[in-house]
Amino acid sequence: MTDIHLRVVGRTDVGNMRTNNEDSLVVADMSGHDHAAGAGPEVRFNVSDRGVLLAVSDGMGGLTAGEVASALVIQGLPQALREGRASAPTEELLDAGVQKVNATVWGAARQRGIRTGATLTAVYVDGPVAWIAEVGDSRAYLIRAGKITQLTKDQSLIPQLLDAGALSPEQAASSRHRAVILQAKGHGPEVSVALARFELRARDCLVLCSDGLHGSDEDIRNVVLSSADLTLTVACHRLVDLAKERGGVDNITIMLGGVDDEPSLLGTS
């Protein structure tokens, strides 16, 4: 593809059990011409060489002011990327931007005398290439040619125990430690950012979500593909409904990014 056309829609929902929403999301045009946050109409970009950022942040519900931490992350990252964009390769730019925002959250927590934190999963679309940055356990998926692939790996205790063979998948599913995150923005002066890069293709669909949607990857795939003849907005609403049907015990935040202008072919080839 020579021109990258990106359609983006996001939605955040308090869920069935919580009284406040500690999640935040943003889609930001690095040229500064367009900027949208929260639920709203589908946003369209001709990416060219200007860059578009998609990001989801989940405030830590067990700590203080999780909604403040996630808002600082989402508000600060686009600005940090715009400020550094002219002088650094994309990988270094993204890592430096995430570190800068982490320092902001860490400093705010220390100033207030509180312990707070937030996850971050961001996809930076830079022409035909997408870069992923992750801190915590919010996820990014790619739906391509009818298949779904998780692009991120949760930075939480259970995946580490599974990798070490200390837990079976059955034990992991019922473990009381499922919510234990090993890393989050604002937990320390620095974070280790997981970065990855991949080439975009026509009809790709990116899915970013907080852990309020975590569950069967195939369910996510099926909802998106069954909505392909409609719109990304319909798919986004259906995914929120799916999470709430499963109990909706946490806040639910979803962002979908479709490549090219063929909604009827989204994620199918």
Burial (0-12, 13-18, 19+ Cβ within 10 Å), 134: buried
Q: What is the mean pLDDT of residues 87-106?
A: 91
pLDDT higher at 183 or 110:
110
SS3 241: helix
pLDDT at 127: 87
Which architecture, in CATH terms, is 5-265?
4-Layer Sandwich (3.60)
Q: What is the mean pLDDT of residues 81-97?
A: 87
d(CA 202, CA 144): 9
Percent of the chain with pLDDT over 90: 54
Residue with tokens 């982490």: 102
pLDDT at 163: 54
How is the chain split into domains, by residue range?
5-265
226-238 pLDDT, tens digit each? 997 778 999 999 9
Three-state SS string over 173-213 comes to HHCCCCCCECCCECCCCCCCCEEEEEECCCCCEEEEECCCC
5-63 pLDDT, tens digit each? 899 999 999 999 999 999 999 999 888 755 555 556 788 888 876 789 999 999 986 56
149: confidence class by pLDDT, cuts 50, 70, 90: very high
On whether the pTM is more than 0.85, the answer is: yes
Q: What is the mean pLDDT of residues 104-122?
A: 89
pLDDT at 263: 45
> How far, CA to CA in Å, does 188 sit from each of 18, 113, 133, 183, 184?
27, 14, 18, 9, 8
Give, as one character, the DSSP assignment of residue 230: S
Which of 141, 170, 175 lies closest to 158, judged by CA?
175
Query: Do the beta carbons of residue 72 and residue 105 sit within 8 Å?
Result: yes
174-212 pLDDT, tens digit each? 545 455 555 666 778 888 899 999 999 999 999 999 999
